[in-house]
Amino acid sequence: MSIRRFVGVVGLCLMFSIVASRADDAPTTKPEPTADTAKGAVKLFCHRLLAGEADKALELCPADTSDEDKALVKAAIECYAAYEELRKNTITKFEANEAIPDNFTLYGPKPPTDSYVDSAKETADADDANRVELKMSTYYPPIVAVRQGDAWRVVPRELFRSSSPNRDDPGDYFKTFIDHAKQLAQDLADGKFQSAREVQNENNRRRSDYMRQQSERRRKGGL
């Protein structure tokens, strides 16, 4: 075999090896959860909240969901979106002057993650075969799902109570943090922060203050 031919064969082998390794490393797309199980319905509901799809999220709620709880769904979506926009704007503001980690986040209200839902203990209601509770900790109330027809539906208020420090009024939680996100966004635009870390620290301070207030209220006899 000539040297030129040998080099050509080696080059082809190397190219095929690289292509194969990239195929192996390609991210796999998880199938979308479905509402044929309680946990699947909860995960799909949370996905739709994060995607800002209010109408599709409400399709996963029980038929008798109150107008107040429907408004709660929309408030949650507004809050999640406000925090995501603030996070992106913070990165855009400072990325030219500082190294911002890929996982940079601003902690605020968020729905349960898939892995969190998967880890929940599912318990059937002893008096209602079409109702289950998903308990993820002894500290927070359970998520409640009900079966209507062939699909499971998520009781929105119970899901928000399960992930809110304000268990009796998750609407206040969303309203407070929507206001926080708007104020932080304004302060960011006005140049009051010198780094992404300062935005993060101020957000953490506000979050800690709110959680401390709720803890104190519960200690004094609230929920």
Mean pLDDT confidence for 87-105: 93
Tell me which of 27-36, 53-62, 66-75, 191-200 is least confident: 27-36
Mean pLDDT confidence for 21-50: 79
Digit-coded pLDDT (tens) for 58-82? 999 999 999 999 999 999 999 999 9
Domain extents in the chain: 33-219
Find the Cα–Cα–Cα–Cα dihedral 69, 176, 206, 141, rounded to 10°.
Answer: -20
Is pLDDT at 27 greater than 80 in this prediction?
A: no
The predicted structure's pLDDT at residue 217 = 86
Is pLDDT at 29 greater than 90 in this prediction?
A: no
Instruction: Please give the share of the chain, as a percent, with pLDDT higher than 90.
Output: 75
User: Greater confidence, 24 or 133?
Assistant: 133
